[in-house]
Amino acid sequence: MSELLVDKRGHAAWLTLNRPERLNALNTGLKAELVAAAVDVTLDPEVWVVVLRGAGGRAFSVGGDLKDMHARGRAATPMIEVERNVYEAVLEIPKPTVAVVDGYALGGGCELAMACDLRVASDDAVFGMPESHRGMGANFGSVVLPRLIPRAVAMEMLYFGDRVPADRARELGLVNRVWPKAELDERVEEWVAELLTRAPLTLRRYKEMAGKGWEMPVPAHLRLNAGPNPYLSEDRAEGAAAFAEKRPPRWQGR
């Protein structure tokens, strides 16, 4: 069975890390499948939203598979390997991405969640960057985490490697929603369904503008003009017509 399950339903692609017996640890094969899936959903015009989750209910992902690293005789050095970096591939999907964290999101698993635009969690979810306990580097996390939450808190998480429960993660702004574990699947389905009622070109525009201009000066950022142009789209005309006619819009993504 594939280590990554891909389920396209309507305009959403649901990607499920499928190594529950290893708490969805990221081995070489799973990372390769994730990169390939990131390319596929990027190129598929029928996919408007991407959801990333873990199988089994115990973990989103506990990060890099240390047994896999040991068997290969070395750990991968980020950004200089032949293979594309999996976190970068997910980060650069030009459509809204949602990480659904049920259980542990540790190390590379936490980084994978950070690569998504939105993060929702079960009330028993736990986040952490334990690389300082393992002699690893958390290359992606050390760059992105201080941009997502207050810098001093991010550095404490990185330095000490302590675990952060879901409620605290939400307080810090690392997580958007926390729901009871028994209700997680239903709540996520509803949240994604609501997101899909928003204009897809507008969402893509937001992602491109916010991401590509992350640290640009405001005057330059305002002139970036990244992503699809919703102002001249058929969807913009449809949105105005739907408002005037008091009906839900019928988006086409063009």
Active-site residue 131, yes or no? yes
β-strands 126-128, 104-106: how paired?
parallel
13 vs 30, 112, 118, 192, 204, CA distance in Å?
Answer: 17, 17, 15, 10, 15
How far is the CA of 178 from the CAs of 57, 127, 232, in angstroms? 15, 13, 37
CA distance 113 to 26: 13
Q: How far apart are CA 101 and CA 56, in angstroms?
A: 11
Catalytic residue among 131, 189, 190, 234: 131
Q: How many residues does the chain have?
A: 254
Q: From CA 163, how far away is CA 244, in angstroms rounded?
A: 50
Question: Is 111 annotated as catalytic?
Answer: yes
Q: Residues 21, 33, 83, 111: which is the catalytic one? A: 111
Contact indicator for 94, 122 with CB cutoff of 8 Å: no
Contact 99, 145 (CB under 8 A): no
According to DSSP, the residues that pair with 122 across neighbouring strands are 179
Q: Please, is 64 exposed, middle or buried when counting C-beta atoms within 10 Å of its C-beta (0-12, 13-18, 19+)?
A: buried
Q: What is the set of active-site residues?
A: 111, 131
